[in-house]
Structure 1
Amino acid sequence: MKVLKEVLIPAVKAFKILEEKAKQKELNYIQKNTYDILKKFVKIDEKKAEELKVELSKIEKLREKHIILLIDFLPQDKDELKTVLYKDYNMFKEEEKNQILEILKK
């Protein structure tokens, strides 16, 4: 199999893709394990993830990789936000951090 393009997607979207694929045919070992893990940890539906993506995209400093991580982990406080954003945490102003957390709490 040849990889044509890599695209970052939230975990909920990966879960939905695997769920649809499972309806068509049996998942292979890796797909099945991934599906089982995502089933346990996906916290929101695809519609909510898309809404969050649109809202978070309005914050200029947030890159796509940040947005995907924020949607997947849904940090609820600044300590969790710092963990998700890791080395990029300090590039955000305090008001931007608060704005991110407010969006994620909706």
Structure 2
Amino acid sequence: MADFTRIVDNYFPKLEMYTLPLTRAHGKNHPEVFRVHELFQLMNEKVKENTASKVKLDKEFSELRQVTNHYTLPSDACETYEAVYSMLAEADEVYYQQNE
């Protein structure tokens, strides 16, 4: 089982780079990516202020699941879109396994 701290270390820097360009490339047809970017920014700030093992992200992951329809990709998703949803979905899963 992956550790959430490792997920943060491996994925959050990439998500920080990918979520904004995703809004530029897909925001017109998929306005939900703006909220995905905002939610990730909130999560990233919380993680930077606390240790990953103690940060509470229940609200953010819950809203991400709702906004993304449980990380379902649209038919016109590019590789970056796919990578963002894949990393967020895995982070969500590991976070909840660790916080059950």
TM-score above 0.5, yes or no: no
Q: Which has the higher contact order (CA 8 A, sep 6+)?
A: 2
> Which protein is bigger by CA-based radius of gyration?
1
Instruction: Name the TM-score, length of structure 1 as normaliser.
Output: 0.29
